[in-house]
Amino acid sequence: MCSSLMLRRFFCFNAASSSSVAAVSSSTSKKKSLVFLGSPQVSATVLDALFNASAAPSSSFEVAAIVTQPPSRRERGRKMMPSPVAQYALDRGFPSDLIFTPQRAGEEAFLSSLTTLQPELCITAAYGNILPTRFLNIPSLGTVNIHPSLLPLYRGAAPVQRALQDGVKGTGVSLAFTVRALDAGPVIARGRLEVDDQIKAPDLLALLFSEGSKLLISKLPSIFDGSAKVHAEPQDDSKATLAPKITPEESWLSFDDEALVLHNKVRAFAGWPGTRAKIFVVNDKSSSHNILELKIITTRVGPADNIQGNDVNDIAFVKGALVFPCGGCTALEVLEVQLPGKKVITAAAFWNGLRGQKLKTL
């Protein structure tokens, strides 16, 4: 099959899609039918585990279809590209007409195709779309979600980022049945993980979904035989905390905050939207100053005695780090920065490029 035909089949529902669904649903296979829903790269980790487990001789299930976000414009050239999960599935040779990309999970054509497929179980992992009741009523064994927090903590769109922003020392991943209320379904199992004080959100997210995929594979037999639903633990809503979606406006750093607060925010917002700061660049020779916008990439909390200079707003350079004076007489050491439109550079490279100019916080 030529690649252009594969792309046409991938990007839309058509008669070929319906016939493939019908063929799968009429199959005499005794394996249980599973549909996977996910979109970003971390979701591909879970799909990989499912593919590998389904290929084992003793496997009791098969991945019958994949649901993911529609193609979007990404990377240089802004070309339309399939989601990372879709691309991974295609690379593994999964039929392109069994990769569904509805704009919304409530679309009639999509729900009709899913109903025809008659899946026994759906698995979601960072799918990125709200599942309506009509969807949840289709799989006979229900829908199970991999959520990167210890539910009922950090329900919502940004559990890893909000946990790091709060400076947690430990977090984890939960397997839970999906209900219409936000991340509120009964919990099948949890896996716990200690949090290093330097780890950033993308790395922690990858770790949690890797652990979540292992947890899922270990629990699939009990999900398929129904015992997981019987023994699932209802969540205590009184202990629930929320992890609302992050907005670009939150990315600005205020050095009135203490250094630990800022360091945690840098780790939490790494990847997207990042963290930004505005600083003064002062040229004593010309008595001029400019405001510079910096993306703050990597930080650590430094000792307060690293704060140097005659002014409380002076930014110093000490042992390879830019030292920002912060609230509460604390110091934030910035190790990597990025200028608008440029590559990430070390603090030393940035400092050398100043050629004697001074830096001050706003």
Boundaries of every domain in the chain: 32-243, 248-360
Q: Is there a shared CATH topology between the 32-243 domain and the 248-360 domain?
A: yes
Q: What is the pLDDT of residues 35-67, one digit of tens each?
A: 999 999 999 999 999 999 999 999 999 999 999
Could you give the angle at the alpha carbon of 32 between the alpha carbons of 26 and 34, nearest 5°? 95
Residue 325: which residues within 8 A CB-CB, separation 6 or more?
A: 255, 307, 312, 313, 314, 315, 331, 361
Contact 164, 264 (CB under 8 A): yes
CATH topology classification for 32-243: Rossmann fold (3.40.50)
pLDDT band per the 50, 70, 90 thresholds, residue 29: low
Distance, in Å, from the CA atom of 158 to the CA atom of 197, rounded to the nearest integer, reads 18
- Beta strand 288-302 with 330-338 is antiparallel
* SS3 at position 294: strand
What pLDDT is attached to residue 153?
A: 98
Find out whether 17 and 5 touch, Cβ atoms under 8 Å. Answer: no
Distance CA 260, CA 304 (A): 12
Is the whole-model pTM more than 0.85?
A: yes
Q: How confident is the model at residue 289 (pLDDT cuts 50, 70, 90)?
A: confident
Q: 109-125: per-residue pLDDT in tens?
A: 999 999 999 999 999 99
Q: Domain 248-360: give its CATH architecture.
A: 3-Layer(aba) Sandwich (3.40)
**Torsion-angle region of residue 4: left (phi > 0), alpha (psi -120 to 50) or beta?**
alpha
pLDDT number for residue 161: 98
The pLDDT-based confidence of 286 (bands split at 50, 70, 90) is confident
Is pLDDT of 28 > 50? no
At what angle are helices 3-11 and 84-91 packed, to 10 degrees? 140
